Amino acid sequence: MKKEKTVEEIVLFGYKINIYNDKVEIYNNANVPFSEFKSTADFLVQYLIDEMFIEKKKTRVEIINPSDSIK
C-alpha cells in the first residue's frame, strides 16, 4: 500500500509555499542569494508556526530556486 503525500499549497507574503507532513518548501522565485533569503525563510517558517500551519517541531525546510529546476 502506497502512502499518500498530502501537500498544502499556499502563497504567504508573495512567496509560494508547499507544506508537507515532514517538510516545508519555500520558492525563491526572485532568485535572491541564499545568505540574503535565509532571514526571509526563517520569518516565513516562524509565521507558519505562530499561525499553526505547522507544528513546532524539527521540520525540514527546502528553498527552491528557479534555476534548480532548469537542467
Q: Distance between the two ends of the chain, CA-based, in angstroms?
A: 33
Give the whole-angstrom CA distance, residue 58 versus residue 27: 20
Return the pLDDT at 61.
Answer: 94
**pLDDT tens per residue across span 16-41:** 999 998 899 999 999 899 999 999 99
User: What is the reported pTM?
Assistant: 0.82
Cross-strand bridge partners of residue 63: 26
Q: What's the pLDDT band for 14 if we cut at 50, 70, 90? A: very high
User: Exposure string (b/e) for 16-53, b if CB count within 10 Å is 16 or more?
Assistant: ebebeeeebbbbbeeeeeeeebeebbeebbeebeeeeb
